[in-house]
Amino acid sequence: MQQAKSIQNLTDLNGRGRNEEQLGECITRLLKQFNLSAVGSILRESKSKGVCPKKIFLTLFLFPFFGISNIFSWVRSGLNENDQSKKDIYYSLINNPRIDWRRIVNHFSRGFVNTIRSKSSDGPTETPRCMIIDDTTLEKTGKRMEFIGKVFDHCTHSYPLGMKVLTLGWWDSKSFIPLDFSIHHEPGKKKNRGLKAHELKEQYTKSRLQDCPSIKRIAELSINKIDQAIDMIGKAIKRGFVPQYVLADSWFITDGVIKSVLSMQTEKTGPLHVLGLMKSNRKVVYNGKTCNSDVLPDLLRERIKNCTKLKCKYISVKVVYKETPLKVFFVKMNGQQSWKVLISTDERLTFMNAMKYYQIRWTIEVFFRDAKQHLMLGKCQSNDFDAHLATISLAFMHYIVLALGKRFEDYETMGVMFKAFKDFLLEKTLLERIWALLTGIYNEVLAVLGVQWDTFIQVLITNPEIRNLMERCCSIFSSDKMRPALQMAYF
């Protein structure tokens, strides 16, 4: 009795067929580019109870694509029926302070670059390679989380409970990927992270070996973000990520960042420049006189030019900022009342190119939005600091894999690609469940009554009423509205 013979015919009832096969091949093909065996060797120390850590890692990695939000949901989901691992195995991995998640993220970023280098036939582009530095707020709800506190969110001008994630990104002239991150809290004026004494006392704590990677990440919590950004840029350059421009907003455009980036320039790296917005109250030297940068537009009214393409007015001028020569563009977009100060250490840069290159900085904002919306960045509510390191790292790796897929596959946005992968994996799993249900009905009931398997399958495929019923079931099971109900029913 060859039950597997007609499975493909049943799958075709949903009308997906070849496209899903190609999508499944795409997922497999993408993951092969990142040499998960090397990841397994990094995770080797976390092996426990005879379970392969690479297998646990791969399961955790696929959570977002199955619509699974956390380990608890996975254990209840029923998707792991053939997985004998208990939930403690997964918690043990993400809570393990000995795992060097920074090294694993770096492995994925190198895999992205190596794949692009070996398989891309793209010619030279006018867009430069850029590093982008920025931070984002991850809001939390539990005051008992390890090292948690209130942080200032410059977008909402409020102090939510949470953590700051400083992120270094890479733009290779066509795609953005995250390279590195560090987590920061803000001690506050009273050095209590905005919490009461009893709240700090009740926070979760655990002991760690002094030489474990987690200890280094904990030390970064209280490091100034400017200093940490400089350190991450320098390490990334040593790993081979050499930019032409470092892009940042006004928070990170400081004398320390500018001079540090310029000092990293060598014959091997070639020219390194900083490009970004600068706060308008910074003192600069123009024509030998020191003044605040915000007074220069009034002094240089005769030099104002109109840019019809970008619908703005601008002034181009060279100044010295703390002994560093800068080219400054004062920009006022139509409808704005104040001048923005765009600076660059590249004195040959034109206004149009400066605006074009600075717009690349928004790719990191897109990353934050997509990662929070689709990849569960910031959704972890564990009390253990190591779990936050793990889940943030996984979100970074998800984005890198999706960025590689978007580079070579026909997808307009990262969100569309993520949804296609998620739908493929979840729908495939649901169809397997339907098929298991049908085979169970046959084995337990119809076979006992003497019904032949081939006859049973033939009726399923050829009978119009049953075919329509199957198509409706597949459509309902794969719909976004039914997915939560199905997960509750099956999970």
Determine the Cα–Cα distance for residues 368 and 345; give it in Å rounded to an integer.
Answer: 27
Task: Please report how the helices 414-441 and 362-374 are oriented relative to each other, as an axis angle in degrees rounded to 10.
Answer: 20
- Arithmetic mean of pLDDT over the chain: 81
**252-277 pLDDT, tens digit each:** 999 999 999 999 999 889 999 999 99
Q: Are residues 381 and 431 in the same domain?
A: no
pLDDT in the model for residue 30? 77
In a domain, 433, yes or no: yes
The secondary structure element, H or E, covering residue 437 is helix 414-441
pLDDT in the model for residue 151? 94
Strands 149-150 and 245-248: unpaired
Sequential DSSP letters for 355-379:
HHHHGGGHHHHHHHHHHHHHS-TT-
Q: Are residues 405 and 434 in the same domain?
A: no
Domain total of the chain: 2
pLDDT in the model for residue 464? 66
Let me know: does 330 contact 296? Beta carbons within 8 Å: yes
In a domain, 125, yes or no: yes
Nearest by Cα to 397 from 412, 415, 377: 377
In a domain, 459, yes or no: yes
pLDDT in the model for residue 168? 98
Nearest by Cα to 329 from 344, 311, 348: 344
**170-212 pLDDT, tens digit each:** 999 888 999 999 999 999 888 999 999 999 999 999 999 998 9
Among 15-19, 232-236, 439-443, the range with the most confident prediction by mean pLDDT is 232-236
If phi over 0 gives left and psi between -120 and 50 gives alpha, with beta otherwise, what is residue 378? Answer: left
Q: Are residues 405 and 456 in the same domain?
A: no
pLDDT in the model for residue 121? 64
Least confident of 261-270, 391-400, 462-471: 462-471
Least confident of 135-139, 255-259, 413-417: 413-417
Q: Are residues 186 and 129 in the same domain?
A: yes
pLDDT in the model for residue 423? 55
Q: Is residue 359 predicted with pLDDT exceeding 50?
A: yes
Let me know: does 163 contact 183? Beta carbons within 8 Å: yes
Q: DSSP letter for 192, please.
A: S
In a domain, 287, yes or no: yes
Q: What is the CA radius of gyration of the chain?
A: 27
Q: Are residues 439 and 394 in the same domain?
A: no
Q: Is residue 49 predicted with pLDDT exceeding 60?
A: no
In a domain, 438, yes or no: yes
Angle in degrees, CA 353, 356, 360, rounded to 5: 130
Q: Within a 10 A sphere around the Cβ of 482, how many other Cβ atoms?
A: 14
Nearest by Cα to 57 from 77, 33, 31, 76: 31
Give me the helices (H) in 442-491, please.
453-462, 464-477, 483-490
pLDDT bin (cut points 50, 70, 90) of residue 328 is very high
Q: Are residues 379 and 286 in the same domain?
A: yes
Q: Are residues 467 and 356 in the same domain?
A: no
Nearest by Cα to 263 from 329, 342, 323: 323
Q: Are residues 363 and 470 in the same domain?
A: no
Nearest by Cα to 132 from 358, 344, 401, 331: 358
Determine the Cα–Cα distance for residues 155 and 22; give it in Å rounded to an integer.
Answer: 41
Q: Is residue 380 predicted with pLDDT exceeding 50?
A: yes
Q: Is residue 85 predicted with pLDDT exceeding 90?
A: no
Looking at 354, 374, 409, which one is the last position of a domain?
A: 409
Let me know: does 172 contact 394? Beta carbons within 8 Å: no
> What CATH number does the domain containing 355 carry?
3.90.350.10
Looking at 359, 378, 409, which one is the last position of a domain?
A: 409
Looking at 409, 434, 461, which one is the last position of a domain?
A: 409
Half-sphere CA count of 382, side-chain side, radius 13 A: 20
Q: In which residue are the tokens 């564990």 written? A: 382
What phi and psi values does residue 331 have, to the nearest 5 degrees?
-125, 135
Determine the Cα–Cα distance for residues 394 and 443; give it in Å rounded to an integer.
Answer: 42
Determine the Cα–Cα distance for residues 24 and 67; give it in Å rounded to an integer.
Answer: 16
In a domain, 22, yes or no: no
What phi and psi values does residue 178 have, to the nearest 5 degrees?
-80, 140
Q: Are residues 348 and 443 in the same domain?
A: no
Give every CB contact of residue 367 below 8 A, 6+ residues apart in sequence. 167, 169, 176, 178, 399
pLDDT bin (cut points 50, 70, 90) of residue 480 is very low
Q: Are residues 391 and 430 in the same domain?
A: no
CA distances from 341 to 122, 128, 251, 292 (A): 34, 21, 13, 11
The boundaries of the domain holding residue 467 are 426-490
pLDDT in the model for residue 3? 37
Sign of CA dihedral 19, 20, 21, 27: positive
Q: Are residues 472 and 349 in the same domain?
A: no
